[in-house]
């Protein structure tokens, strides 16, 4: 039987990224993502729902996310769904799904949302914005040149 585990999400960070390190000094960043869905019901009423997703990134990708993203910032992520289970202190079994980030792209955001945030490095005048970080290669994301679009405007103006 064939298997395929790929997740694409576009949304806003629900909290500032939390950076930590494994015992062998690999960077790990955890953050939450809110993904909104808007539609019109059969009765013509506009409806909206929000899905909150826990995400985790490793190595250079984790450090880049921690450095340039903060609560409220829009981001596009590509990753895989992972399942974690553990025994809580009270002895009950707990579990949850999480997205392990493999690639990501900065998305346009308002300047107000970017206030106080470090600007990603310039890409050397290539004219590209929101370059993705491919972490499937060893060392990828470590020196990736990325830059968000600072033209402003809400991310939900994207036509898909």
Per-residue pLDDT tens over the stretch 113-125:
455 555 555 433 3
Q: Which residues contact 82 (CB under 8 A, 6 or more apart)?
A: 56, 97, 98, 99, 100
pLDDT digits (tens, 9 = 90+) for 12-68: 999 999 999 999 999 999 999 999 999 999 999 999 999 999 999 999 999 999 999
Q: What is the pLDDT of residue 141?
A: 41
* Residue written as token pair 């790990």: 28
Instruction: Find the domain containing 108 and state its range.
Output: 7-150
155 in a structural domain: no
Total structural domains in the chain? 1
18 in a structural domain: yes
The encoded tokens of residue 54 equal 């826990």
* DSSP class of 121: P
How distant, in Å, are the alpha carbons of 31, 36, 40, 42 from that of 49? 20, 6, 12, 16
* DSSP class of 72: T
């Amino acid at each position: 039987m064939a298997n395929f585990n790929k997740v694409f999400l576009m949304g806003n960070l629900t909290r500032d990224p939390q950076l930590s390190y494994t015992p062998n000094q690999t960077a790990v960043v955890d953050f939450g993502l809110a993904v909104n869905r808007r539609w019109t019901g059969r009765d013509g009423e506009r409806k909206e729902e929000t899905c909150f997703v826990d995400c985790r990134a490793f190595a250079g990708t984790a450090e880049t996310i921690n450095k340039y993203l903060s609560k409220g910032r829009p981001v596009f992520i590509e990753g895989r769904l992972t399942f974690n289970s553990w025994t809580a202190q009270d002895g009950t079994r707990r579990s949850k799904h999480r997205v392990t980030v493999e690639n990501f792209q900065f998305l346009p955001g308002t300047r107000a949302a970017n206030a106080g945030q470090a600007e990603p490095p310039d890409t050397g005048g290539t004219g590209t914005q929101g370059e993705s970080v491919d972490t499937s290669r060893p060392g990828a994301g470590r020196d990736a040149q990325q830059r968000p679009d600072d033209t402003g405007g809400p991310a939900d103006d994207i036509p898909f």
